Amino acid sequence: MTDQDIKPWQRRASPLARQALLCLILLIAYASLYPFEFQRAAVGPFDYLFAPLPRWITQFDVITNVLGYLPLGMLTVLALHPAWRGVRAVVAAFVLGALLSGGIEALQTYLPTRVASNVDLATNALGALIGGAIAVPLTSPLLDRGWLRHLRFAWFERHASLLLVLLALWPWAQAYPQQFLFGDGDLVRQIWLWQDPDVTGLVIDWVPRLGQLQDYLSELDAVASHALWETVVSASGTVLAGLLATLAMRRTAPRVPLLCAMFTSAFAIKAIASAWQFSPAQAFDWVTAGAIYGVVIGALVLLVAGRGPRALRGAVALGALVVLLVFVNLLPANPYYEAALQSWRQGRYVHFNVLARWLAWTWPYLVLIYLLAMFDPSHRGPARTAGVRR
């Protein structure tokens, strides 16, 4: 079957592509504008358009700019299908890339750590154009009649698009160096550390049980080994990610191979990021006894709970998430972990690392919102219907 043979009613839109496009736009904006320290500038926001070309244009910067906007162009074409196809979709991808990059470059005029550049605008727009051109011949086979679409609906529930986006982000959250393997979500700890001591003292006065819980965990930390806590956290993270994935899968899906692929990708990203951020010799420093025991225990729990009904899997995932958030936020920081962070090499990828850090901080809370919505009786959206088979 060719593209011309497909009837209009057979063409399918992709909610997943649209959600992924929105996430990508937000991620690009965040990575390009962080740390948001805007100041007055002596030039206008669009003066960079008519500025002379930079004296030094490195091949690395050009390639990075093109590759950075390549997924934007591809997702734009996928998201616009079937309303806009072919040349019109490519033009839309180019325009979106140019407008997004142009707006970001204009805002970078007011960031002292960034330099607005017409070369960046041109290369970013070129990346979006190339990405759109690549996606055009692939869109119909993928969305209308291809094997990917067949597998999408054969293995995953029809309304699981949002959950699939969350699952796709999880391996990338492991790129940020954490105190424990799969120990994402210590955003509350970071916010607490950012506060003035007087403010934190006032909060403890208001909620004395919070201080009591913190003292209790500190006492436990003093008598238990770091490996024990890493086992608990790693097991909780394994159970959470694994059961969350099963919520998106149909009963007929090859669950074990899919779960193995998801965890393998997380381990690979973790190893590559560790080698990149620290040194190649430290690529597998996170493979500790506690982490191994945690993954094994978590896998055993998955084998048992993964066979249960959807409500049970959701409840166990929610319980694992609560355990994870309590321990990563209230356990005292390991001094060896804090010392290791001092050798963290962010370098020219500082914005990617900042993005990975915020993803690791916030991902569990996005999952918390999803799981709470799933158990809300009044909720009629995807979170409730995804994976429901009566």
Q: Is the per-residue pLDDT at 335 higher than 70? A: no
59 and 196 part of one domain:
no
- State the pLDDT at residue 1: 45
93 and 194 part of one domain:
no
As a whole number, mean pLDDT of residues 224-229 equals: 78
Confidence of residue 279 (pLDDT cuts 50, 70, 90): confident
125 and 175 part of one domain:
no
Q: Is position 334 within any domain?
A: yes
Six-digit token string for 306: 């993964």
Q: Is position 234 within any domain?
A: yes
Confidence of residue 315 (pLDDT cuts 50, 70, 90): very high
As a whole number, mean pLDDT of residues 277-290 equals: 84
Distance CA(78)–CA(71), nearest Å, equals: 10
Q: Is the per-residue pLDDT at 217 higher than 60? A: yes
Domain end point (choices 155, 186, 217): 155
Q: What is the dihedral of CA 29, 241, 224, 180, to 10 degrees?
A: -30
* Residue 126 near residue 66, CB atoms below 8 Å: yes
φ, ψ for residue 119, nearest 5 deg: -70, -40
**What Å distances lie between residue 288 and 226, 292, 300, CA to CA?**
11, 6, 19
Q: Is position 390 within any domain?
A: no
148 and 167 part of one domain:
no
Q: Is the per-residue pLDDT at 171 higher than 90? A: yes
Greater pLDDT, 198 or 319: 319
268 and 221 part of one domain:
yes
- State the pLDDT at residue 305: 93
- State the pLDDT at residue 56: 74
Residue in the structure block whose two tokens are 């990610």: 241
Domain end point (choices 134, 155, 176): 155
* Number of independent structural domains in the chain: 2
Of 3-12, 75-84, 334-343, minimum mean pLDDT range = 3-12
Confidence of residue 81 (pLDDT cuts 50, 70, 90): confident
Contacts of 116 (CB under 8 A, 6+ apart): 45, 48, 105, 106, 108, 109
Greater pLDDT, 13 or 125: 125
Q: Is the per-residue pLDDT at 28 higher than 60? A: yes
Q: Is the per-residue pLDDT at 240 higher than 80? A: yes
Greater pLDDT, 207 or 293: 293
Distance CA(236)–CA(319), nearest Å, equals: 9
- State the pLDDT at residue 292: 95
Report the percent of the chain where pLDDT is more than 90.
34
Q: Is position 241 within any domain?
A: yes
DSSP-assigned states of every residue in 132-167:
HHHHHHHHHIIIIISHHHHHHHHHB-TT-HHHHHHH
For 241-267, the three-class secondary structure string (H helix, E strand, C coil) is: HHHHHHHHECCCCCHHHHHHHHHHHHH
**What Å distances lie between residue 232 and 238, 243, 276, CA to CA?**
10, 16, 27
Distance CA(88)–CA(103), nearest Å, equals: 22
173 and 314 part of one domain:
yes
Greater pLDDT, 79 or 56: 79
CA 316 to chain centre: 22
Q: Is position 193 within any domain?
A: yes
Six-digit token string for 380: 């009629």
As a whole number, mean pLDDT of residues 300-327 equals: 93
Confidence of residue 261 (pLDDT cuts 50, 70, 90): very high
271 and 317 part of one domain:
yes
- State the pLDDT at residue 387: 42
Query: Comparing C-alpha atoms, which of 112, 107, 121 is closest to residue 49?
Result: 121
Q: Is the per-residue pLDDT at 388 higher than 90? A: no
Q: Which helix or strand (DSSP H or E) is residue 358 part of?
A: helix 350-374
Confidence of residue 76 (pLDDT cuts 50, 70, 90): very high
Contacts of 241 (CB under 8 A, 6+ apart): 167, 170, 182, 262, 263, 266
- State the pLDDT at residue 181: 92
- Average pLDDT of the chain is 81
Q: Is the per-residue pLDDT at 294 higher than 50? A: yes
Confidence of residue 197 (pLDDT cuts 50, 70, 90): low
Q: Is position 344 within any domain?
A: yes
Confidence of residue 372 (pLDDT cuts 50, 70, 90): very high
141 and 231 part of one domain:
no
Longest dimension (CA), the chain: 70
Q: Is position 346 within any domain?
A: yes
Q: How many residues does the chain have?
A: 390
- State the pLDDT at residue 204: 63
- State the pLDDT at residue 389: 42
Domain end point (choices 115, 139, 155): 155
58 and 179 part of one domain:
no
179 and 314 part of one domain:
yes
Confidence of residue 376 (pLDDT cuts 50, 70, 90): confident
218 and 298 part of one domain:
yes
- State the pLDDT at residue 205: 66
Of 60-74, 80-94, 207-221, minimum mean pLDDT range = 207-221
149 and 169 part of one domain:
no
Q: Is the per-residue pLDDT at 289 higher than 70? A: yes
Domain of residue 42, residue span: 3-155
Residue in the structure block whose two tokens are 């204009």: 106
Burial of 355 (0-12, 13-18, 19+ CB in 10 A): buried
* Residue 45 near residue 101, CB atoms below 8 Å: no
Contacts of 325 (CB under 8 A, 6+ apart): 185, 188, 364, 368
Q: Is position 134 within any domain?
A: yes
Six-digit token string for 384: 């409730």
